[in-house]
Structure 1
């Protein structure tokens, strides 16, 4: 059968004729080269204008990286180790993790008696009073430690400690204690930059027992006494102090602003926190101050633990670097601090506090 007959039959199958069929000669010559002998070169087969029109293609690099989730391959030494030894190592690691978790969850125990001085507003002489109590109070057979939780870092000045010493920023508090008046040990807040302060406050916010853990590491005894100065108002420092305090002493003054702040103090501490009050900077020569003291007595009742008279000798002692309670003739303000200290010692040695601090 000829080629023309083949084409006629093909057109007939589709209902057409081969009259309109024409053949054209191609201008390209196709060599009869077997496919296996053709080179796989794109640049030789594609004309230059076509290559120039194609967009550039970035090379693809595939990297097989080991992720953190992938377990490390066992070494030859591990393969040679008996299985029972490998299982024992896994069990020991699990036990160590469990013990670490239990240590974090366990409430730390501070054997020392702790007094935290707080105030809803500033300007009531809280830091001066904390220094006076720390330098004059001591339980029989123990030592007294003054801790400054106030970022203003002022407590150590009132206790005769030089500036620039390491404080809260240290990891080992026991080795950074400073010697203050009457052998009181002082831990200043210290000079912290913004980053260090933010880190410290973040740690306190994440661990409600952060301060308790620090005190536990110091291995304080049941006869030791800790006086804590806190910043005014609500803060992470205040919450840490309330967590460890056996006695919360609210410092107020005989003036209108301090009386108004009492309601804020109640909200700040909450109903579950037992507290005592001290009226500081009382001016007996002023009638208004006497009237305000009477109003405060009626408002506070048995919670009023003491009254300390305004004494400018404390400010002068700070200027000259002296202990205001070491002068031969004690002032009325100094006598008030000593009497307040005796009341605090009696409260700390009450049965309820003794049971709380017992080992």
Structure 2
């Protein structure tokens, strides 16, 4: 394919990292190669496969990671902490930059929508308080903690007409359905159980009063900046989030409500507080949108990506443009 079209640039999206070696021939002949590392493979495998026999494989994955980055002209990753890890593992700082996996602003937009959903003004017909989660259904994402928190809320009767809606599918779906039945939540929790097209998500998510991101704490999730959280911020849906290392660097306590990972009791307390404080939910949604989406939204990320591609494929033009934009300097008069 490259022989027919002679691409100027090839971008390889991991995982696996070694896919970048499919571009070795074009790379030799001058084609620029970008390696896009959304997740660090070795960190994910160390969480998914907990066995001492996996240690040689993890070491091999780290070596693959470094060799793959070495072949690429440039490496992209999704946030600054990942960038720092890659630098610590031997990749040159100038070769790594951040391009967040920001939501498409043509789909996830707050156009003509109030910031944060408020309760119905018709007090004679109270609406259910709706929690929402969407995305991959996997054990590492802590959905069982969310179910146990909902069970606590239901037993205490502290949130009227509570409902939890879960969109998505994954290998933990059957177990979670079993837990829901065991806790007596089948009339409260709805599992969609299917993939939802991205274009349909905003209409579904904005029906919720509060989104929940209940990630567990482990070496992988500690460094995940959930796309779903960015989508909630873009749409103005207030969120309660398990506190993890990376998320707390980008979202402060005015933007989201935090609870300790794995703590169903604290999650239940946060949901109770927010259910009875619509103004706080509204303020959180507004600040998350203003402070995160407007700084790290896709328009900003897109321009950074264009600038990177230009610097790789048209370095002389970029240098000339930068020189033309540089402020003029005036010689300093010589003095004795």
For the aligned pair, the TM-score class normalised by the smaller chain equals 0.3 to 0.5
Larger Rg: 1
User: TM-score, normalised to structure 1's length?
Assistant: 0.33
Structure of greater relative contact order (alpha carbons < 8 Å, 6+ residues apart):
1
User: TM-score, normalised to structure 2's length?
Assistant: 0.35
